[in-house]
Amino acid sequence: MSPETPRLRSYGRLKTRTIKPRQAALMETLLPSLRPPTEPFDPRTLKPDAAPDWAEVWLEIGFGGGEHMAAQAARRPELLILGAEPFQNGVASALRHIDEAQLTNVRVLDGDARELMALMPSACLDRIFVLFPDPWPKSRHNKRRIVQAETVAEFARLLKPGGRLRFASDWADYVDWSLERFTASPDFRWAAERADDWRAPPADHITTRYEEKRLGDCAPVFLDFVRI
């Protein structure tokens, strides 16, 4: 991002409590080595020189405490997972998970995912996760939601044909909002064939502590979309 370009604004609190000493230390020592480049880059090149190419590249937008991201990375060491989260306590928590599992296939942006997406080339991602994002339930705040027509278009640009995007929420209005915007896009197909496809967690889903709190107004809904 050039000096003339204003930074995107991430709404909400970026830190709510003092970060624990161990996690604070990881913010200083581990995080710098995990941050992606700040100039345009291809995520498929983010590997040691002698390492084989990543089998796939995934992006998790707003990874919360990092439980899902770290667990998926541990399951699939042959792929790279990029994660973006502006909430500093969440980043600190994710670093603890990464450090404890000694993961080498995760890269972390402690900032707005839209900044990261803008730096990557078209058709470079195999999967995108948008799991339980801030719902901004008041009508006057809906414009702050991460799912907007322009971000759906950016998701389509970044995903390879056949790539998949998963959106999950426990706020009914946000589910309807997102379904409307994705199905309006000519670039995505909703993969659901029966009710259980959105009512039941997908087989590869990892439930987090945040999800278990059920802070929304409905049971979790999972929407999987395929890039046409």
Class of the CATH-defined domain 21-37+52-227: alpha beta
- Residues 22-60 pLDDT 10s: 999 999 999 999 999 999 999 999 988 878 899 999 999
- Predicted pLDDT of residue 188: 98
Burial of 224 (0-12, 13-18, 19+ CB in 10 A): middle
Give per-residue pLDDT as tens, 123-158. 999 999 999 999 999 999 999 999 999 999 999 999
Residue 96 CB contacts under 8 Å (≥ 6 apart), including other chains: 22, 23, 26, 66
End-to-end CA distance of the chain: 30
User: What pTM value is reported for the model?
Assistant: 0.92
In the chain, pLDDT over 90 holds for what percent of residues? Answer: 89
Q: Catalytic one among 99, 126, 134, 170?
A: 134
Q: How far apart are CA 166 and CA 202, in angstroms?
A: 10
Q: What are the backbone angles phi and psi of residue 49, rounded to the nearest 5°?
A: -55, -40
Which residue in 90, 167, 84, 181 sits closest to 132, CA to CA?
A: 167
107: DSSP letter: E
Active site residue 112: no
